[in-house]
Structure 1
């Protein structure tokens, strides 16, 4: 017999983005919503590039993700189904 446990999160439960530096391990949690200025451009501790890497900024992609998540959170109560995200289990 095989047993599996799956983990889900509702969009309504998403409240923030947490960024952890791959270089020094410092973490920054930013409330879900428009990210102000260059908040995610560099690590606040070691200053390594985060969303701005090799002369390219990924701020637009992050902003698009946030906008889409917030828009879905607002319309999901009107829809005839519940939308959840499946997340991988901790190992």
Structure 2
């Protein structure tokens, strides 16, 4: 009888150990938005020097493609070239 009781306790301990597992860790925080921390490229700032807010501006992109946009006020108060948003799908 002592043997059966011992095996029962051992089985109960094994079952209960599976119930007492710690919860999974919390998910990682979302990545920061890149546009909030990156300053605009210097050529985007230079393109709007001497321009009015809303002025149409054309630049040459990194691959030689024409970029059109307007001068908009950045959070720091500078006028910065802003291309139009990409087309929605």
Greater Rg, structure 1 or structure 2? 2
What TM-score comes out, normalization by structure 2 length?
A: 0.29
Q: Which has the higher strand share?
A: 1
What TM-score comes out, normalization by structure 1 length?
A: 0.28
